[in-house]
Amino acid sequence: MAAFRCRRDPCGFICLILTYFSVFYADYVVIQYVLIPAYSGSVWCTLHGSVFNIILFLLLACHSKAVFSDPGMVPLPETAIDFSDLRSQSNRLNDRGCEGWTVCSRCETYRPPRAHHCRVCQRCIRRMDHHCPWINNCVGELNQKYFIQFLFYTGMASLYSMALVVSAWVWRIRSEREGDEEKEGEEAPSKHLIVAHYIILLVESILFGVFVLVIFYDQLVSIITDETPIEQMRNRLIKDKANNSQPSHVAHTRKPKIALLREVFGRGSILCWLFPLHSTPPSVGGISYSALPDYDV
């Protein structure tokens, strides 16, 4: 069920509004100041307009899924759990196959391996990557796919709009040289306004394009190495501590890269990875879940 998950984070709200504004502004400039003047009457106008809007539609669809999906919140227990005897039991519990489960003192619940507490969401999130203000949500086990798709389509939209603006600008300069200015008539927007929109859209596209490229790369590396940024930091600390005394016991994954990618993007065809479709949660790693592990509490 896609429940509305609204976080009271002012930064998250501002980023959401900025995202929607940037998308609609880019669409407005591309149609109004790029396609209509430069490609009017040509089949390219319809073609570029359709492709660009399909990319924006997919971008917004992935963004909505990332915003409103459950990132993998660890459910809270219905009744308070007594953790007082936890230490004495911990070894015995690990023998039962609950290794890696920890206790969150803030949520007052048990959480599965790789879950971490988010201070903004005030909940523990399974395989938490980071809290992203651009989606006003955590990036976790269940919505990482949508987040990466959102980055992918933002990168594509940025590249596409850059190419369209540059080609329209070149066309404008050429037509000015050839003395076609009079053809545009009195109703055409002023040259300065058009150039201002071109520059703003170019800057927007470059900023967002570079930003999402860097995060997209980080996300892929974190999937392929099977380490979230939180785990990378923790493992680095463990390594540093154990550096001189004993060999590091940091476990590196032996899973093939494609299996790790399928855990995030689903087991369907690679083509399905491009769309914000619901995929069956990964069974690898035993994430079948209940609020309480098999503990004596």
Active site residues: 132
Q: What angle do CA 210, 212, 214 make, to 5 degrees?
A: 70
Measure the CA–CA gap between 70 and 226, rounded to whole angstroms: 21
Q: Which is nearer to Zn ion, 138 or 260 (CB)?
A: 138
CB of 117 to Zn ion, least distance (A): 3
Q: What is the DSSP letter of 178?
A: T
Bridge partners for 123 per DSSP = 118
CB of 233 to Zn ion, least distance (A): 17
Contacts to Zn ion by CB under 5 A: 104, 106-107, 117-118, 120-121, 124, 131, 138
Measure the CA–CA gap between 198 and 173, rounded to whole angstroms: 13
Q: Say how many residues make up the chain.
A: 297
Token pair in block for residue 61: 């669809």
Residue 2: name the closest of 213, 185, 276 by CA: 276
CB of 141 to Zn ion, least distance (A): 13
Q: Which is nearer to Zn ion, 37 or 293 (CB)?
A: 293
CB 144, CB 264: distance < 8 Å: yes
Q: What is the DSSP letter of 82?
A: -
Q: Which is nearer to Zn ion, 37 or 75 (CB)?
A: 75
CB of 258 to Zn ion, least distance (A): 29
CB atoms under 10 Å from CB of 175, counted, come to: 15
Q: Which is nearer to Zn ion, 12 or 155 (CB)?
A: 12
Measure the CA–CA gap between 70 and 167, rounded to whole angstroms: 41
Farthest-apart Cα atoms in the chain, separation: 87
Q: Which is nearer to Zn ion, 116 or 172 (CB)?
A: 116
CB of 280 to Zn ion, least distance (A): 24
CB 37, CB 168: distance < 8 Å: yes
Measure the CA–CA gap between 217 and 212, rounded to whole angstroms: 8
CB of 71 to Zn ion, least distance (A): 7
Q: Which is nearer to Zn ion, 48 or 65 (CB)?
A: 65
